Structure 1
């Protein structure tokens, strides 16, 4: 088949543009494959995001109620799953937090005997940290101090640490060239700790 600009011939078609879909699309396209990503949700602009947690129509995806927000709740018998609806999928709703599961996670569940998962996944956590620009949050607010005090009170302060987040903590409000990918990525603006 002769390929041209108007052909719809792809090596891979990926459903969803969240973390899994976008990373898969990136890695496949880096290898030279023609990739199409299909996303059911819309492309959100700054004005589309809720400014407060009271604006439920901009937070939740419940079309029957005319709510067209970024977060879908799927309720099962033993678990409720929050997922993103829109270009970016789960990256719309994960609050920039980047925790690594505790030790017991890697040695539990049906998958525990299949591999040394902590060792197997560690390089991928490092890649994600690098690509997302992970850094400890340097700002501890009232709630953080309360958690730290509680940890101290129960003798577990060594388990308290600032959350590792995908936020650029450059000079607050100042936009600079991409600091993560040799200038090939988007410009970044230093966090001004507005809480948004």
Structure 2
């Protein structure tokens, strides 16, 4: 096998670097497996995080509007999901909180 073909030879490919993906990648690599992690988002720096609720470009992931924030809102027929976008996935936006809506 030549050097070129070995560059893309992985034992496992993990989609997403959130809680599940990052831990899985760590454990597999600790066992000696060659692991590739694919992430839609980018590495975020402290300046990339919103300082107020009005900084929508830093909050929302809507690339077609040039919003490259932390949250991707996906709406399905009976449910909407909010997920993190960036290296770290949902851990970027997880604050160990669970707001209870008013009845």
Deviation for aligned residue 1:3: 6.5
Which residue of 2 is the match for residue 21 of structure 1? 21
Query: For residues 43-82 of structure 1, what are the structure 2 equivalents within 5 Å?
Result: 43-82=43-82
Structure 1: gaps of 5 or more residues: 100-196
Which residue of 1 is the match for residue 101 of structure 2? none
Distance in 1 (alpha carbons) for counterparts of 2:60 and 2:15: 21
Structure 2: gaps of 5 or more residues: 99-103
Distance in 2 (alpha carbons) for counterparts of 1:74 and 1:7: 34
After superposing on structure 2, the runs of 4+ consecutive aligned residues of structure 1 that deviate more than 3 Å are: 1-4
CA RMSD of aligned residues (A): 2.0
Classify 1:2/1:65 alpha carbon distance in 2 versus 1 (closer, same or farther; 3 Å): closer
Classify 1:98/1:55 alpha carbon distance in 2 versus 1 (closer, same or farther; 3 Å): closer
Q: Answer 1 or 2: higher relative contact order, Cα 8 Å, separation at least 6.
A: 2
Count of residues paired in the alignment:
97
Distance in 1 (alpha carbons) for counterparts of 2:2 and 2:63: 42
The alignment's TM-score, normalised by the length of structure 1, stands at: 0.46
Deviation for aligned residue 1:94: 1.3
Which residue of 2 is the match for residue 163 of structure 1? none
Bigger Cα Rg? 1
Distance in 1 (alpha carbons) for counterparts of 2:3 and 2:35: 14
SS for the counterpart of 1:73 is strand
Distance in 1 (alpha carbons) for counterparts of 2:2 and 2:32: 18
Distance in 1 (alpha carbons) for counterparts of 2:75 and 2:58: 20
| Deviation sequence 1:128-158 (CA, Å, 0-9, x none) | xxxxxxxxxxxxxxxxxxxxxxxxxxxxxxx
Which residue of 1 is the match for residue 92 of structure 2? 92
Deviation for aligned residue 1:27: 1.1
